[in-house]
Amino acid sequence: MLSGLLEPLQNDFIIRALFTGIFVGTACANLGVFLVLRRYALLGHGLTHVAFGGVAVGMLFSAQPFWSALVITALSSLGMLKLQEKARIHPDVAIGIVSAVGMAVGVVIASVAGGFTVDLMSYLFGSILTISPEEFWISLFISVLIIGFIAAFYHDLFALTFDEDSALAIGIKVKRFNVFFALISAVTIVIGMRVVGLLLISALIILPAVTSLQLSRSFRGSLLIATASVVVSVVAGIMISYFYDLPSGGTIVLLNFGLFLAASLINRFFLKHEGN
C-alpha cells in the first residue's frame, strides 16, 4: 500500500510539482497572514485579474507570459498603492477598477491574439503537473527570496501589522515596507499562477491565513500553522489529483477549505476564545 502511495514520486514532474507547491505555497501562506491582518486580502485577488491581462499581453507579443505578467502586475500593484495614498478613492474601489481593467485588457487581447487557447487556460487554472524545469527553478528561487525577506524583517513586519502609527513612532520605515508588500504580492501571484492558477491563487493566500487565525494565539504560531496547512493541502492535493485524475489546483484549494472548516470546529468546541 505504501509503495503504491510512493509510486508517483518516481516521476520527475511530480517531484517538481511537490517542491514548487510547497515552496510557493509557503510564500503565499506567510504573505497571506500579513495581507489578511492588514486588510489587504482584496488586493491579492485584484492583482490576479491584472496578471491575466499581463499574461495575454505577453502572448500577444510572443514573449514569455511569466515576465510580462510579472512586470505588469508589479507596476499595477505599486499603482494601486499610490492610488490609495494620493487619490480620494476608497481602496476597495481602486482595486476594483484596476483589476476589472486588467481583466478586460486580457480578454480583449486574448481574442485578438487568437482566442482562448489551452495555454491561456493553463494560466487561469494552473498546471503544476506540467511545470518546466526552468519555471521550477525560478519559482523556487523567488519563493525562497520572499520567505527570506519575511524572516529577515519579521519583527518590523509584525510591529507595523499590529499598529502602523506606533511602528512609525519607533522609526520603522512603514512606507518602504508597504512598497515591498505591494511588490511581493505581485510576485507571489505570478509565481503562484502555475501552481493553482490565477482564478484560485488568492485562495492560497487567504485560506491558510484564515485557518491559522482560528487556532493560533501567537503571531509566530500563526505563520507556522498557515505554513503547515498549505504544505499539507499541497502535498495531499497533488497526490489525490494524481491518483484520481482531478485538477490539482481545485483539489488543493478544496483541501485548504477543508482544513479551515476543521480549524473552525476545533476553535468552536475545544478552544477557549472570547466570543465563542
Which residues are at the interface with another protein (CB under 8 A)?
Answer: 37, 152-153, 155-156, 158-159, 162-163, 165-172, 212-213, 216-222, 273-275
Q: Residue 214 contacts by C-beta under 8 Å, 6 or more apart in sequence? A: 260, 263, 264, 266, 267
DSSP code for 197 = -
Hey, how many other C-beta atoms are within 10 angstroms of the C-beta on 239? 19
> 172 or 198: whose CB is closer to another protein?
172
CA–CA separation, 250 vs 197, rounded Å?
Answer: 9
Q: Residue 6 contacts by C-beta under 8 Å, 6 or more apart in sequence? A: none
Q: Residue 201 contacts by C-beta under 8 Å, 6 or more apart in sequence? A: 28, 44, 48, 126, 189, 192, 193, 195
Minimum gap (Å) between residue 140 Cβ and another protein? 23
Minimum gap (Å) between residue 261 Cβ and another protein? 17
CA–CA separation, 244 vs 229, rounded Å?
Answer: 22
> 22 or 210: whose CB is closer to another protein?
210
Minimum gap (Å) between residue 42 Cβ and another protein? 17
> 15 or 151: whose CB is closer to another protein?
151
- Residue written as grid cell 497533488: 238
Minimum gap (Å) between residue 134 Cβ and another protein? 32
> 84 or 161: whose CB is closer to another protein?
161
Q: What is the 3-state secondary structure (H, E, C) of 127-165?
A: CHHHCCHHHHHHHHHHHHHHHHHHHHCHHHHHHHHHCHH
Minimum gap (Å) between residue 155 Cβ and another protein? 5
> 4 or 171: whose CB is closer to another protein?
171
Instruction: With CA atoms as reference, report the closest residue to 23 among 252, 231, 209.
Output: 231
Minimum gap (Å) between residue 266 Cβ and another protein? 15
- 195: amino acid identity, one letter: V
> 13 or 153: whose CB is closer to another protein?
153
> 4 or 275: whose CB is closer to another protein?
275
CA–CA separation, 240 vs 234, rounded Å?
Answer: 10
3-state SS, residue 193: coil
Minimum gap (Å) between residue 138 Cβ and another protein? 26
